[in-house]
Structure 1
Amino acid sequence: MACDAYYSEHDVLHPPKDRCALREIESRTAREVAIIGMSTTLFGVANLLVAAWCIKRLGVKTALLIQIFWPAVRLAIQNWGAMTGGARGILIMQASQIITIVGGPNGYVLALNSFVTDVVNPEARTGALGQIQGCMMLGAAVGFLVGGVVGDAFGILAPFRITLLLFLLCCVYVALALPALPIDKKNTGTRKKPVGLMRFFGPLGIFAPQKWTLRDGRTSRQYGALMLGIGVFLAILATGYLNTLLQMYATTAFGFGTSANGYLIFMYSSLRGLYLYLAFPRIINIGRRWLQPPNGEATKIETAASEPAGTSPNEVEIADPMDAETEPLNPPQRENEEETFAFDLLYARCSLLVDGILTGLCVFVSEGWQMYIVAVLLPLAAGTGSASKGSILQMIPSKDRVDALSGITLVENIARLSTSKYTSTFFSLHGVKKADNEKSRCSDSYSPLWRK
């Protein structure tokens, strides 16, 4: 579409053999993609608030249906934009993103995660969250592969139409197959509304310092949730651009087309999904057994010995920064939920370290085939987000579960917005220098990314 828009706005007498292989077109493509990405993220923040409200007021199943139906409406409009083409089609595609406020990816991921945390046992939540994310990655892998093949075979409109049909089928499946869970009354009317500045931060309020009630009656201010949120933000800020960079750099530097890009992202997403679905839950279970005593006797002895100074996240109040003298309350206790997030946090730290190392090694890529090696190795560091979600669910009262998932998802989106904006802006301003003629194109080999 950016290519068609360029030639409709400029009179080019002798276009290159690859008519879209112009730096101006590549820069505009990166800029328009950045606009869509940033608008999706910004509207996704509002979508989180809408989805959380729907979950609390209408129930998880109804909220999930709403969050799946409206993306189908958005896709119908995007079909129209794809058929229109050119600059007008780009504008239609970008404007359609406003529908994301009512229903979109952030909303249905939040609803899915809330559904899973309601139906599985507390100790299995971290693994289940990883499996849900793994299933989504596998679906994305198949989508990239099939979308690329179908797009090459039947034109770029075909993937849009297939996706619209799949969203409608998904609505029918949710309506018929999933059970309707009862609405948690704790989240609808009994919770005290925040005051002061906390009123304006929405889901981020879950990261405010907490007042924990000690077993001897004293109070202590805890910053665990805040530190975890900062860690998730910095992790995504450092490595979250990889998925976008894989596609943009492969397309620009190595001439990957729709099919080649589809195969590349299929490898990355499918391996990441398989790892999260098959390996991640088993690693979490094995790690917990290794880190904790094999039976409950040692735990009971340790708990009795530390009774006067022990802490309990079951009795937590989010501290109001505008009212620091407020006495802590005692919310309802958890229902037989044990603290199991010690290994979850250890896994998150190790995952971040490995992810950073692998991301750093990517700058030495200088050949197209090496992009596939990157796509194979990067999934080995997956699971940071799921481990973080499983940890924070045990750091806060169970009645704040939806807000906790909303808050950490919001932090992830803000980090992705920041890193995606930088990546797309870099490509838009600098690009990758193309050869001007066939001779230089054959003789000039691309240097590794670190040299650039």
Structure 2
Amino acid sequence: MACDAYYLEHNVLHPPEDRCSLREIGARTAREVAIVGMSTTFFGVANLLVATWCIKKLGVKQALLIQIFWPAVRLAIQNLGAMTGGSKGILIFQASQIITIIGGPNGYVLALNSFVTEIVNPEERTGALGQIQGYMMIGSAIGFLVGGVLGDAFGILAPFRITLLLFLLCCVYVAIALPVLPRADPNNTDTRQKSVGLMRFFGPLRIFTPQKWTLKDGRTSTQFGALMLGIGVFLAILATGYLVTLLQMYATTAFGFGTSANGYLIFMYSSLRGLYLSLAFPRIIKIGRKWLQPPTSESSKIETAASEPVGTSASEIEIADSMDAETEPLNPPQRENEEETFAFDLLYARCSLLVDGILTGLCVFVSEGWQMYMVAVVLPLAAGTGSASKGSILQMIASKDRVDALSGITLVENVARLSTISVFGFVFAALAEVGKTHLVFVCNAGVALIGFIALLFSRFPPDGARRIDI
């Protein structure tokens, strides 16, 4: 569209063989794409807050429908922009991004994660979150590959129309196939208090504040586990969030990869990472928990059961627990003690980030083009830091704050992704000027190792401790 706009606005008598290869067109394209990217990021943060509000007020399924429907509306408008072309088409594209505030990727990923955490058993949440992320990566990889093929075969409008159709089909599927989950009680005191003032919009970040716990011996302790976990996740995304772009840029700069070669490279990386998260990650979490299961877990459950209100008999407790187990998929109980602490989730997050840093650092020794495909095969083996971190933070906070926990950590991830584009984009450019682009992998690895150190300071509250709600 920038190319068409240039020739509509300038009278060029002798255009080059590749009519779009002018510096003016390239510069305008970069500016216009940057505007779309920045607006998507900022509107996406607002979308995250809107989605959080929708989940609490309307319910998870209704919020998911809203977050899927409005991107379809945005795509319909962008179809018009693609058909209009030129400067008007660019303006339509950029203006349509404001719809992202009402519904967009951040919102439907948050709603989907919230839905999953409600319908699966507590011990399966971490693995399920990894599977969801894996499925999304596989879909993204296939989408990029198929979109490119359709664009080449049937024109640039084809991918837009197919995507619009897919979003509408997704809306129908969610409306028909997914069950309606009960929303939070609007009369709940905690819900009303969190919806007042600025905390109504920035409440999700509250989960990272230090928490006070009462230890078994009666002493009060301040726990920084959630805060250090948030810092570790930020540094993890800062280190790895630029990898997809970095692999393409480095392959192009160092080994002359073209569009198709880069397409296959990223397809391999994304699809293998998705397969690892959807197939291997849940099994590793399950096996690791059995290996690292704390011996005091059963005694902690007994102590928790003994701390139930005095007016409840043992038989009543047993009946209530069996009823909760039967109804959890549709109406999960909102209890402080419904989740058991799984230390392996946090250990996995630390180890995966450490391995990610080591593997990324080793990329500095890549000297031939075919080795880039080896990198795309090996790097996905360190996936799962984000999913394990989400599973860990869900165990660190009260069950009533699940939506805020997922929203807060997603907000941290978005800020990290925005930061990594600017930080490592500048680093790559600076190293390219001195002919040392391979050193960018060392910088990535260094940030990942700092994130690993931050995760070392993240810990679960001691066994037998009780949260002090303020």
Aligned to 2:340: 338
The residue number in structure 1 matching 2:351 is 350
C-alpha distance in structure 1 between counterparts of 2:169 and 2:299, whole Å:
54
User: Who is 1:390 aligned against?
Assistant: 391
**Cα deviation, residue 268, structure 1:** 1.5
Residue 38 of structure 1 aligns with an amino acid whose one-letter code is M
Residue 12 and residue 448 in structure 1: after superposition, are their counterparts in 2 closer, same or farther (change >3 A)? farther
Would you say 1:403 and 2:404 are equivalent positions? yes
Quote the offset at 1:301 in angstroms.
6.4
1:62 partnered with 2:50: no
| Residue in structure 2 matched with residue 262 of structure 1 by the alignment | 263
Structure 1 residues 8 and 421, CA gap change in structure 2 (3 angstroms): farther
Contact 2:250 2:437 in 1 (8 A): no
Deviation per residue, 1:387-444 (Å, 9 max, x gap): 00000000000000000000000000001011123455678x78989xxxxxxxxxxx
Q: Is the 8 A contact 1:83 1:157 kept in 2?
A: yes
Q: Quote the offset at 1:366 in angstroms.
A: 5.8
Bigger Cα displacement from structure 2, 214-223 vs 19-28: 19-28
1:48 touches 1:406 (CA, 8 Å); kept in 2? Answer: yes
Give 3-state SS (helix, strand or coil) of 2:341's partner.
coil
How far residue 185 of structure 1 moved from its aligned partner, in angstroms, is 1.8
Query: 2 CA distance for matches of 1:145 and 1:175?
Result: 28
Quote how far apart the aligned CAs of 1:62 are: 0.6
Give the 3 Å change call, closer, same or farther, for CA 354–451 of structure 1 in structure 2: closer
1:450 alignment partner AA = H
Which segments of 5 or more consecutive residues in structure 2 lack a partner in the other structure? 304-333, 441-470
Change in Cα spacing, 1:81 to 1:95, as seen in structure 2 (3 Å) is same
Alignment match, 2:50 = 50
| CA shift digits 1:92-138 (9 cap, x unpaired) | 22221111100001111111101110011111100000001111111
Q: Is the 8 A contact 1:41 1:417 kept in 2?
A: yes
Partner of 1:325: none
Q: Which amino acid aligns with 1:265?
A: I
C-alpha deviation, 1:367, in angstroms: 5.2
Alignment match, 1:203:
204
**Which residue identity does 1:401 align to in structure 2?**
R
Alpha-carbon contact 1:56-1:187 (below 8 Å) kept: no
Alpha carbons 1:364, 1:449 under 8 Å: kept: no
Work out the CA distance in 1 between the residues paired with 2:377 and 2:9.
Answer: 41
Tell me how far apart the structure 2 counterparts of residues 412 and 229 of structure 1 sit (CA, whole Å): 9
Q: Deviations over 1:28-75 (max 9, x none)?
A: 444433322222121111111111111111111111000000000111
Please tell me whether the aligned partners of residues 225 and 396 of structure 2 are also in contact (alpha carbons under 8 angstroms). yes
Question: Offset of 1:345 from its aligned partner?
Answer: 1.3
Q: Could you tell me how far apart the structure 2 residues matched to 1:349 and 1:405 are?
A: 19
Given that 1:365 and 1:448 are in contact with CA atoms closer than 8 Å, whether structure 2 keeps it comes out as no
| Structure 2 counterpart of 1:93 | 93
* 8 A contact 1:70–1:99 mirrored in 2: yes
Distance 1:379 1:22 in 2: 38
Q: What's the offset of the Cα at 1:344?
A: 1.2
**Residue 40 in structure 1 maps to residue 35 in structure 2:** no
Q: Within the alignment, does 1:234 sit opposite 2:222 as a pair? A: no
Q: What are the Cα deviations for residues 286-323 of structure 1, in whole angstroms up to 9, with x where unaligned?
A: 11111225xx5x54569999xxxxxxxxxxxxxxxxxx
Give how far 1:9 is off: 5.1
What does 1:144-163 correspond to in 2, within 5 Å?
A: 144-163=144-163
Q: Deviations over 1:320-339 (max 9, x none)?
A: xxxxxxxxxxxx74244211
Distance in 2 (alpha carbons) for counterparts of 1:193 and 1:39: 32
CA contact (8 A) 1:359 1:378 kept: yes
Name the structure 1 match of 2:437: 449
Structure 1 unaligned regions, length at least 5: 306-331, 434-446
The match for 1:288 is 289
Does 1:271 pair with 2:259? no
Matches of 2:371 and 2:57, distance apart in 1: 50
Question: Kindly tell me: are residues 218 and 409 of structure 1, through their superposed partners in 2, closer, same or farther at Cα, counting changes over 3 Å?
Answer: same
Aligned to 1:312: none
Q: CA distance change for structure 1 residues 76 and 7 in 2, over 3 Å: closer, same or farther? A: same
Alignment root-mean-square deviation, CA: 3.1
Normalization by structure 1: what TM-score?
0.81
Q: 1:174 to 1:345 in 2, by over 3 A?
A: same
CA distance in 2, matches of 1:31, 1:137: 28
Which residue matches 1:327?
none
> Normalization by structure 2: what TM-score?
0.78
* Distance in 2, Cα, partners of 1:417 & 1:218: 41
Residue 173 of structure 2 corresponds to residue 185 of structure 1: no
Aligned partner of 2:322 in structure 1 is none
Question: Residue 160 of structure 1: CA displacement?
Answer: 0.6
Equivalent residue number for residue 322 of structure 1: none
- Counterpart in the other structure of 1:174: 174
Q: 2:187 and 2:47 mapped to 1: Cα distance?
A: 18
| Residues 215/353 of structure 1: CA separation in 2 closer, same or farther (3 Å cut) | same
Change (3 A) 1:288 1:23: farther
